[in-house]
Amino acid sequence: MNVLIVGVGGQGTLLASRVLGQYAILRGQDCKLSEVHGMSQRGGSVVTHVRIGDKIHSPVIWEGGADVVLAFEALEALRVKHYLKSDGALLVNDEEILPMPCITGAAVYPENIKDTLKAAVKRTHFIKAQEMALAAGSEKATNVVMLGALCKILSFDYALMREAVVKSVPPKFMELNVKAFDIGFNAVNL
Amino acid sequence: MKDLMLTNKAIARGAYEAGVAVLSAYPGTPSTEIAENFAKLDGVYAEWAPNDKVAVEVALGAAVAGARSMACMKHVGLNVAADPLFTAAYTGVNAGFVLVVADDPGMHSSQNEQDSRYYAKSAHVPMLEPANAAEAKEFVKLAYELSEQFDVPVFLRETTRVAHSHGLVELEERIEKPLKNYVKDASKYVMMPANAIRRHVTVEARDNALQEYVNTMPINRAEYTNENELGIVCSGAVYEYVKEALPNANVFKIGTIHPIPVSAICEFSKHVKELYVVEELEPFVEDTLKANGIACKGKELFGLQGELSVRKIAEKFGVMAGAVVEPEKVPARPPVMCAGCPHRGVFYVLNKLKLTVNGDIGCYTLGAVPPLSSVDTCVCMGASVGMAHGFKKATKGESRNVAVIGDSTFLHSGVTGLINAVYNRSGITLIILDNSTTGMTGHQQHPATGKDLQGNPAPVVLLDELCKACGVKDLHIVDAYDVKAVEKAVKEATASEEVSVIIAQRACALLDKTKQPVVTVENCKNCGVCMRLGCPAIRKGANGIEIDPLQCRGCNVCVQVCPFGSIKKA
């Protein structure tokens, strides 16, 4: 299972990868994560690779190798679309964050990303994860809403994923995150 | 139970389990988390050194005194630390000393793509290269055994994809290493010509012994799948890519990248049809094999640039399944200075005054990207000061340039450039962007923050007093958010004939997480001046600019640059 998590620096993509890693440990499987720190975190594109299986070698997913892309921002989903396998799934947080070239007018933010992605990838799901997280109590739980939806899409073990979330967040935010997880889980209809 | 662990944390854990007592490092992506994680473990000493050279000297001192020690740095840090390293190879170590160096193929967060493996060869220091987190922990322990067995510093080399990947790691107990006896021995530890000449003989003998020994080490191993078919020689992250891309290939996995186990690889080559070396960056392994008469191919397939990947390797050997989907052409999302970044207003002023800017290494390097596009040069840690001096000397003082450097970088290696500028009378203007932290690498302490690596109170190096002690007489201290004050200081400093230093103070906007009041907009005239700040909280709307209240930090720099008073103070 190869999950590519993409977003913009500061969106909480790292926690999402930790939860998936925890899920792999709970299942007794091998797991590797790969991320890049430093310069790219300053509001740039952020990519995290999660690989779960019986024996994992490369920590990095290759173009055409992702079972699912978990995108916290629409443009970032479009940027890595070619990483998906032909039957891969795409889960996108329905949010647009302008990159600096679009803010300054040097580039134009693509229109109708949703349509483009839906036309290209059959299993595309857009959810308003940020709104759902706010409804759960805090927009900081956006990543956990996304994980709830991912759990549904990939038919992951619901109880184990929930446990992985509980083990990965500070105890005082547990209730909020479990709520966010369930909202995400129920937001997707397959 | 295994832990899913970042490789850098696994290196720290390996050092802990190996009984390492002293660690010294300077932050540098992708090596920073080693020291941070080691510092959290019980019963050890860890510190941030002001630069990589000092870190190596500290670790060498600790090792000679009898304690196992470690120094950590990124590849370019090793350039700074090369001086003690080359001679440490002559003195040897007493207790084990491991130097971790992190290369950055693909330059995720670096200014060049240098290959540290050549340092191992030219310094006569063995180098181990793990492929994943579990191996990293194991190799660290092995490195200490090797260091003490052969009385030599040992490198552990990693690349970004190893350093910043997580894998499952089994934790083991720490083995305490009592302080070894230090015995005075000038012929070994005082490297002046008469002694060093004799030590060089020892170094050569040790090289020869190591060259033999590595062929017997289990971390250098042949993995046969189909004898007399394709054979691949590789190490590190590339080994994992090869195993994924070419599951049917015979693989020789190198664990000691220096010395390369030439005899063992020669034997391997006899059992395969064709031999390929798959390696990132330079043809380090390939050249060594060829020099030893082992026929192989490598760089003619893969080139010198960037990272390799499973896909690249599979394509070159013609085994990639599935059609290649071309990436979409979409706008780039480069890293930017954060909303509320104290550097922004300073660069705005430098642009307004049309100054040439000799930049340096840190978040403020982002002053080079549009729309600020302020920085003219950026080379290495501390180079801003020396280069600004060079500009002045080349133009007989006529150039209108300033040097811009961060507080941590200034202490790392900018201060020597300042001493040079004072001593050799170039009259440069140096702006120290003092944000009270090492920003780009993720907020590490340094000698001017008042806290140590563990976050405990520490003596403070006062930047203004330090500059004065260097002979600077024209010193300005300003609030980096006060655009007028910054402009006034820059005008005065650049008009002055003598060396001027401006310390622009304001803590990194990411350090204070409390929500601040935000600026508001009324009657925007759409003039576009604030857009030149490149603030991610400001965007063009249908009726003038809009402020993103979630991002705005209320620094009020945009309020000060708006010519119509349309942006209201937070």
Among B333, B510, B531, the strongest candidate for a mutation testing the A interface, having the largest count of A CBs within 10 A, is: B333
**CATH number of the domain encompassing residue A141:** 3.40.920.10
Structure tokens belonging to residue B344:
């922004």
Query: B110: helix, coil or strand?
Result: coil
* A66 contact B CB<8A: no
Rounded Cα gap, residues B470 and B263, in angstroms: 55
Instruction: Write down all domains in chain B, each with its CATH number in brackets.
Output: 3-216 (3.40.50.970), 221-316 (3.40.50.920), 343-505 (3.40.50.970), 520-568 (3.30.70.20)
Tell me the C-alpha distance between B570 and B567, whole Å.
Answer: 9
Domain that residue A72 falls in = 2-187
For residue A39, give both structure tokens: 């310069």
Least CB-CB distance to A36: which of B1, B108, B370? Answer: B108
B324 contact residues in A (CB cutoff 8 A): 63-64, 82
| CB–CB contact A32 B330 (8 Å) | no
Alpha carbon distances (Å) from B528 to A102, B367, B433, B538, B566: 14, 18, 26, 11, 12
- Contact A119/B at CB under 8 A: no
CA atoms of B456 and B371, how far apart (whole Å): 39
Q: How confident is the model at residue A36 (pLDDT cuts 50, 70, 90)?
A: confident
- Complete DSSP assignment for A60-116: S--TT-EEEEEESSHHHHHHTGGGEEEEEEEEEES-----HHHHHTSS-PPS-HHHH
Torsion sign (Cα): A37, A39, A41, A44: negative
Given a contact cutoff of 8 angstroms between Cβ atoms, the answer to whether A110 and A134 are in contact is no
Chain B window 486-525: which residues touch A at a Cβ cutoff of 8 Å?
none
| Mean pLDDT estimate for chain B | 96
Please give the Cα distance from B28 to A118 (Å, whole number).
41
> What is the reported pTM?
0.97
Residue A42 has pLDDT above 90, yes or no: no
Which of B:355-394 have CB within 8 Å of A? Answer: 363, 366, 369-371
CA Rg value for chain B: 26
pLDDT at B2: 87
Task: Give A63-118 pLDDT, tens digit per residue.
Answer: 999 999 999 999 999 999 999 999 999 999 999 999 989 988 889 999 999 999 99
The answer, for B329 touching chain A at a CB cutoff of 8 Å, is: no
Residue A81 to residue A70: CA distance in whole angstroms: 11
Quote the pLDDT of residue B367: 95
- Predicted confidence (pLDDT) at residue A39 exceeds the cutoff of 70: no
Amino acid found at B145: E
B544-547 and B538-541 strand pairing: antiparallel
CA–CA distance, B409 with B362 (Å, rounded to integer): 8
N- to C-terminal Cα distance for chain A? 19
What domain count does chain A have?
A: 1
Assess B335–A contact: CB distance below 8 Å, yes or no. yes
> From CA B424, how far away is CA B496, in angstroms rounded?
16
For residue B314, the chain A residues in CB contact (below 8 A) are 62
Burial classification of residue B478, based on how many CB atoms lie within 10 Å of its CB (0-12 exposed, 13-18 middle, 19 or more buried): buried
Q: Can you give the pLDDT at residue A41?
A: 61
In this complex, which of B165, B326, B440 lies closest to A59 when CB atoms are compared? B165
Which residue is closest to A57 within chain B, CA to CA? Answer: B240
Distance from CA of B412 to the nearest CA of A (A): 18
Cα separation, B192 vs B186, in Å, equals: 10
| Tokens 């500070």 belong to residue | A170
ipTM value for the complex = 0.95
Q: Phi/psi at B214 (nearest 5 deg)?
A: -60, -25
Residue B141: C-alpha distances to residues B16, B206, B548 (Å): 9, 20, 51
Could you say which residues from 142 to 161 on chain A have a Cβ atom under 8 Å away from some Cβ of chain B? none
Contact B370 A104 (CB under 8 A): yes
Q: Does B237 touch chain A (CB under 8 A)?
A: yes
Residues 6+ apart with CB under 8 A from B550: none
CA-based nearest residue to B218, from B173, B180, B256, B189: B256
If we measure between CA atoms, which residue out of B309, B306, B266 comes closest to residue B285? B266
Stretches where chain B sits below pLDDT 50 are: none
From the list A63, A85, A103, the residue facing B311 with the nearest CB is A63
From the candidates A62, A87, A112, which should be mutated to test the interface with B, based on the most B CB atoms within 10 A? A62
Q: Output the six-digit token pair for B485.
A: 């004050």
What residues of chain A lie within 8 A of the CB of B331, using their CB?
75, 99, 101-102, 107-110
Q: How many CB atoms lie within 10 A of CB A120?
A: 15
A103, B309: Cβ pair inside 8 Å? Answer: no
Report cis status (omega within 30 of 0) of the bond before B331.
no
Are β-strands B250-253 and B231-234 bridged in parallel, bridged antiparallel, or unpaired? parallel
CB-nearest to A81 from B1, B240, B328 is: B328
Q: Collapse the DSSP code of A21 into the 3-class scheme (helix H, G, I; strand E, B; otherwise coil) and give the result.
A: helix
Which of A:11-50 have CB within 8 Å of B? 18, 21-22, 24-25, 30-45
Give per-residue burial for B180-208: e unless 16+ CB within 10 Å, then b: beeeeeeebbebeeebeeebeebbeebbe
Q: What residues have CB less than 8 Å from B490, skipping those under 6 apart?
A: B349, B350, B353, B355, B402, B429, B431, B502
Contact B335 A41 (CB under 8 A): yes
Size of interface A-B (CB pairs under 8 A): 175
- List strands edge to edge, sheet with B275-277: B221-223, B250-253, B231-234, B275-277
